[in-house]
A and B are shown apart, each in its own frame.
Chain A
Amino acid sequence: MSAATAVSRRTLLKSAAQAGAALVIAFEVPQPPAKGAPEKPVVNPLKAWIAIDQNGAVTLSYSKSEMGQGVSTSLPMILAEELGVDWKDVQVKHASVSPMFGNQGTGGSGSVTTLFTPLRKAGAAGRQMLIAAAAARWNVGPESCRATHGAVWHGSDKLTYGELVEAASQLPVPDLDKVQLKRIEDFEIIGKSLPRTDIPSKVDGSALFGLDMRPEGMVFAVVARCPVFGGKVKSFDASQAKAMRGVEDVFEIPAIAEVHSCGGVAVVAHSTWVAMEARKKLKIDWDYGPAISESTESLRRQFRKLVDSNMKVVLNQGDVESSLTAAPAKKKIECDYELPFQAHATMEPMNCTVHVEADHARAWAPSQSPNQVQGVVAQLTGLSPDKIEVHTTFMGGGFGRRYQGDFPAEATQIAKRVGKPVQLVWSREDDMTHDFYRPASYHRMRGAVDAEGNITAWQHKYTSTSIAEWFSPKAAPESSELGCTLQMPYLSKGYKLEYLPAASAVPRAWWRSVEASVIGFVMESFVDELAHAAGADPYEFRIQKLGEARLVKNALEERGRPLDTARFKAVLQTAAQKCSWGKPLPKGEGRGIAAHYSFSSYVANCAEVAVQNGQVKVKRIVSAVDVGVPVNPDGIRAQVESAIVYGLTAALKSQITIEAGRAAQSNFNKFTTLSMKETPLIEVYIVPSTAAPTGIGEPGLPPTAPALTNAIFAATGKRIRRLPLQAGDLV
C-alpha cells in the first residue's frame, strides 16, 4: 500500500493533553464496532486487568510500556490496593495491545497521572464482584461481607478469591463511577517503597528487550540511510553485499512521510553482524537534498536574526518597554541563552521484530506507542488491526524516542518482503544520526528590577526548531515550545513573550521533559540573574516573587492543571532546608537553586559545586519533589536521580551539532555522558501530599541545569548561558 493512503488515516492525538504534556501524534487504530455493542464498552476488570487462578495466585496486567520508570510495579500496586490482595501474592504481566486497555501510549510522565483513578476503580469493581459472588454463595447481603488479603469474609466464614473468581467474573460489572474507593489514610500498598517487579530479571540477563526477541526462523536486517537529513537513494549496487555468506536479500525501502522514516537500502542476513558487514559493502549514490547546507553555525545565524527581528507576540502583560526604559543600567539585564540539539541515546538502539503472514501479523516492539505500532503494521500490510498482535517488550530506555513510528514502519516494510520473522536492528550510529532530537533553541532575555527589588520587566524572545511545526504544518509552531512560560510563577509588573520558529531539516521531537528542559533552564537562570541585579539572595528572591498562594492557569488555553505557587514554594523551601541553604561554603564552591513545574509536578533542585582550574565538580544535588500522593516512594526517588543525571549530561557533556546537514556525533566516543566519577551525591525528598498523583519520569530534569549553572555563578561569578558547558567557559 502506498504512503499516500496511510496519510489519510493519520490523526493528531493530544493523548496527554490533560497532563499538560507534549503533543502526541499517532496513527489512529480503527476498531470495528461489535454489533449491538454499547458505545463505550464496559470492561470487566476480572477479564482485563486482573487474573486470579483457583489457587489464589493473582496476575495483574500493566498497560503502559516499561522503560525503566517503574510502571510494571507502580500501576499493579494501585490495582492491588483496591482489589484487596497481598502484594506478595501478586505477579505482573505486560498487557499486549487491546482495546480493553485504552491508549497504551507511554509518555508525558502520564502513566500514574492518568491511570491512578481508573485502576483504583477497576480494582474496587473487581473486589465488589468478588464480594457479590461470596454473598450469593452464603445467601447473605454483600454489605455484611468484607474483602481483604485475597479473601471475602462474613463473620468467621471465609472464601478465597481463587474460590470465587469464576462466579465473580460472570457477574455484571458495577458502575465504575459508584464503586467505593478506599480512603487515602487506609492505603496499605500505595505509599510503600516496594521492590520493583522487573528488577530480578534485570540482574541475571533474563529480562527480554526488543533486541532479545528470537521467534523461530528469524532473520536480521539493517538499513543504510542517507546520512544527510531528508536525503534519498539515487541508485545503489549491492553485488558485493549480496555475495557475502549469510546475506539473504538486499532491497530498497521507500521513506514514509507520515512516520518520518528515511527510507534506504535494507540488508537481510542470518546474523546482525553479517547484516552490518554487508551494509558496509553497499555502494550507494545518494541525493543529499537541500539540507546539506545546514549546520549548527547556519542555524545560530538564523536564530540571532530572528531574535533581532519583530517576532510573534504570544503574551504581553503590563508595559515591558517603559519599565526597561525607566530602569537604571545596573538594574537591567539583557542576555542571550542557547541550547543545542540533544540525542536520546537510549542504551538499547531502536529495533523492532515483525512477522507478516497472509492473514495476520505479529510485532514485538520496544515502543512507547504500541497502539501506533498496530496502526503502522495495519496500514503497511492492509490487514485489519485485530489481525495484528503487538507485544511490547522491555525497552532499554525510552526518553521519548520510542514514541516514534519510524522503526516499526521500517521493520514492517522489510518483513512484508521477506515473509519470515525479521528483526530490524539499528546500530548505535544509526540511532544517534537519525534521532528525533530535542530542539535547538535561542532566547533573548531582557529584564529589570526596581529599587525595592520588584521585577518590573521580563521579556522573552524565543526561537527554536519547533516540534509542532515538524509534525504538522497546521499546528501553531509555538504550541509545542512554550511550556511554563505560559504559567509564569514569579510576579512581574511587565511580562512579554515572543516567538518565531527557525527553519531546519533536522528531525526533532519529544526528549525527556520536552520543552521544560529548555524553558526550565532559561527561566530559572534568568530569575537568578534578576535576583543578583536586585542584590537579593536568589532563594529568598524566588520565595518573595512567588507571592501569596495562588493558582496560575495556562495563559493561552484551558490545558493542564494550574500551577499552585504554594506547592512551588514548598519544594523550594524543602530543597533549601535540606541543602543547608545559606551555610557558608569554602572559596571556589557555590550553591545554586532552581525549581520548575512540569507534567503537573513540582521539583526544586539545589546543586553544590566546586570549581578549580576551570573545571567544575558537581558535589551534591538535593532535590525536593511534590508529585501528589506518592505511589512507590523509592521508585520516585530513582526517577528523580535518573532525570538529574540525564540533565547533568546535557548540561555538562553531550550535544548534537550539525555539519553539512548531518549529525556530527555518531557514537558514545563523541556524545559523552556523565560517568560514575562525575556523578554527584543525589538526595531526593518527597514532600508529603494528598493531591492526585502526578508524573515523575521527567520533572526532575528541568531544574537540574539551572541549579548547576546558578551554583557555578555563586562559586565563580561566571554566568553560563549556553549549554553544554564548553571547555574554557570557566577559565
Chain B
Amino acid sequence: MAISFELNGKQTSVDVDPQTPLLWVLRDTLNLTGTKYGCGIAACGACTVHINGEAVRSCVFPISSIAGKKVTTIEGLSTDRSHPVQQAWIEHQVPQCGYCQSGQIMTAVAFLKKNAHPSPSDVDEAMSNNICRCGTAQRIRAAILNAAEAMRSGKAPGNPAGGEL
C-alpha cells in the first residue's frame, strides 16, 4: 500500500511495509543518504529529521505514521549550505568524521526554532542525547550559540576566536 507524505517540500509516495522505519525508507527506497543509521533504538540521534518541524529519531518512526506529514531531512535544510546553523558549523570547523553531524544539525535547527536566546546550558541540555564519538561537542556548542546570534541579527555567523600559542 502506497504511503504519501511531503519530503523536503515535494509530494512523495512509497510502497513499502508500513512498519518500515522512516530512516530506511529515506536511505534505501529514496536514496536520500544524508540521514544516518547509528543505533536503531533512538539512542544516538544520527538519524534525526524533522516531522512537521519537530526533531524526531527516524530509526524508530514507522513510515505508516508519516502519512500526510511534512518531513525535512538534512538535504532539505538549504540548497546551498546557507542555513545559519550550517554556516556556523563551517565557521567553527565542527565535523570530524561527520557521520553524526546531519543529526546534530537537524537537532540544533529544531531547538533554535523553539529557543532563539539559548544559554550555554540550554544548548547542553538540548544536545546531550546526540552522540558524537569524535568529541565535537565543544565546537557544536559554540556553533549553536553563534548561529543563534546570527539568526537574531540576520548576519552570517562570524569567525570563532583562535587559541594558538
Q: Quick one: closest A residue to B165, CB to CB?
A: A685
Our count of residue pairs bridging A and B at CB distance below 8 angstroms stands at 202
Q: How many residues of B contact A (CB 8 A)?
A: 65
Q: Can you give 19 A-B contacts (C-beta < 8 A)?
A: A199-B89, A202-B98, A202-B101, A203-B95, A203-B101, A204-B34, A205-B102, A206-B75, A271-B28, A276-B40, A347-B97, A394-B97, A396-B98, A396-B99, A634-B93, A642-B134, A667-B39, A669-B43, A679-B135
- Shortest distance from the beta carbon of B72 to any chain A beta carbon, whole Å: 11
B28 contacts A273, C-beta separation under 8 Å: yes
Encode contact with B along A408-438: 1 for CB under 8 Å, 0 otherwise.
0000000000000000010110000000000
Q: Is B50 an interface residue (CB 8 A)?
A: no
Q: Is A633 an interface residue (CB 8 A)?
A: yes
B78 contacts A679, C-beta separation under 8 Å: no
Q: Is B156 an interface residue (CB 8 A)?
A: no
A345 contacts B133, C-beta separation under 8 Å: yes
List 4 other contacts, CB 8 Å, given A199-B98, A205-B32. Answer: A200-B81, A667-B40, A668-B38, A677-B128
Encode contact with A along B1-35: 1 for CB under 8 Å, 0 otherwise.
00000000000000011001100100111011111
CA distance A200 to B127 in the complex (A): 21
Q: Given A203-B86, A347-B44, A677-B121, are A67 and B97 also a contact pair (CB < 8 Å)?
A: yes
* Chain B hits for A272, CB < 8 A: 24, 27-28, 37
Q: Is A686 an interface residue (CB 8 A)?
A: yes
Q: Is B140 an interface residue (CB 8 A)?
A: yes
CA distance A673 to B133 in the complex (A): 8
* Chain A hits for B40, CB < 8 A: 276, 427-428, 667
CA distance A686 to B102 in the complex (A): 30
- Interfacial residues of chain B within 109-143, with CB under 8 A of chain A in the complex: 121, 123-125, 127-141
B34 contacts A205, C-beta separation under 8 Å: yes
Looking at the complex, which one of A203, A245, A394, A646 makes contact with B133 (CB distance below 8 Å)?
A: A646
B31 contacts A348, C-beta separation under 8 Å: no
CA distance A348 to B21 in the complex (A): 18
Looking at the complex, which one of A198, A346, A639, A669 makes contact with B98 (CB distance below 8 Å)?
A: A198
* Chain B hits for A646, CB < 8 A: 133-135
CA distance A408 to B29 in the complex (A): 24
B77 contacts A204, C-beta separation under 8 Å: yes
Encode contact with B along A349-379: 1 for CB under 8 Å, 0 otherwise.
1000000000000000000000000000000
CA distance A391 to B145 in the complex (A): 38
* Chain B hits for A349, CB < 8 A: 37-38
CA distance A588 to B80 in the complex (A): 49
B136 contacts A642, C-beta separation under 8 Å: yes
B90 contacts A205, C-beta separation under 8 Å: no
Of B28, B77, B131, B135, the most chain A CB neighbours within 10 A belong to: B135
Encode contact with B along A653-674: 1 for CB under 8 Å, 0 otherwise.
0000000000000011100011
Encode contact with B along A198-215: 1 for CB under 8 Å, 0 otherwise.
111111111111011010
- Shortest distance from the beta carbon of B66 to any chain A beta carbon, whole Å: 14
B28 contacts A204, C-beta separation under 8 Å: no
CA distance A686 to B164 in the complex (A): 7
A199 contacts B135, C-beta separation under 8 Å: no
Q: Given A211-B37, A272-B27, are A681 and B138 also a contact pair (CB < 8 Å)?
A: yes
B131 contacts A347, C-beta separation under 8 Å: yes
Q: Is B96 an interface residue (CB 8 A)?
A: yes
Q: Quick one: closest A residue to B77, CB to CB?
A: A204
Residues of A at under 8 Å CB distance from B? 67-70, 193, 195-196, 198-209, 211-212, 214, 220, 245-246, 270-274, 276, 345-349, 394-399, 425, 427-428, 574, 633-634, 637-639, 641-646, 667-669, 673-679, 681-688
Main secondary structure of the interface of B (DSSP, over half): loop
* Chain A hits for B134, CB < 8 A: 68, 347, 397, 642, 645-646
CA distance A204 to B74 in the complex (A): 6
Q: Is B73 an interface residue (CB 8 A)?
A: yes
- Shortest distance from the beta carbon of A429 to any chain B beta carbon, whole Å: 8
B93 contacts A211, C-beta separation under 8 Å: no
* Chain A hits for B78, CB < 8 A: 204
CA distance A346 to B138 in the complex (A): 19
* Chain A hits for B28, CB < 8 A: 220, 270-273
Q: Is B154 an interface residue (CB 8 A)?
A: no
Q: Given A245-B17, A684-B163, are A676 and B141 also a contact pair (CB < 8 Å)?
A: yes
Give the 7 A-B CB pairs with smallest separation, nearest first: A205-B34, A645-B135, A396-B99, A202-B98, A68-B97, A68-B96, A205-B74
* Chain B hits for A347, CB < 8 A: 36, 38, 44, 46, 97, 99-100, 131-134
A396 contacts B129, C-beta separation under 8 Å: no
CA distance A313 to B10 in the complex (A): 70
CA distance A270 to B86 in the complex (A): 33
Looking at the complex, which one of A574, A673, A677 makes contact with B131 (CB distance below 8 Å)?
A: A673
* Chain B hits for A398, CB < 8 A: 97
* Chain A hits for B38, CB < 8 A: 347-349, 428, 668
* Chain B hits for A681, CB < 8 A: 138
* Chain B hits for A202, CB < 8 A: 95, 98, 101
CA distance A485 to B44 in the complex (A): 37
CA distance A245 to B81 in the complex (A): 39
B124 contacts A676, C-beta separation under 8 Å: yes
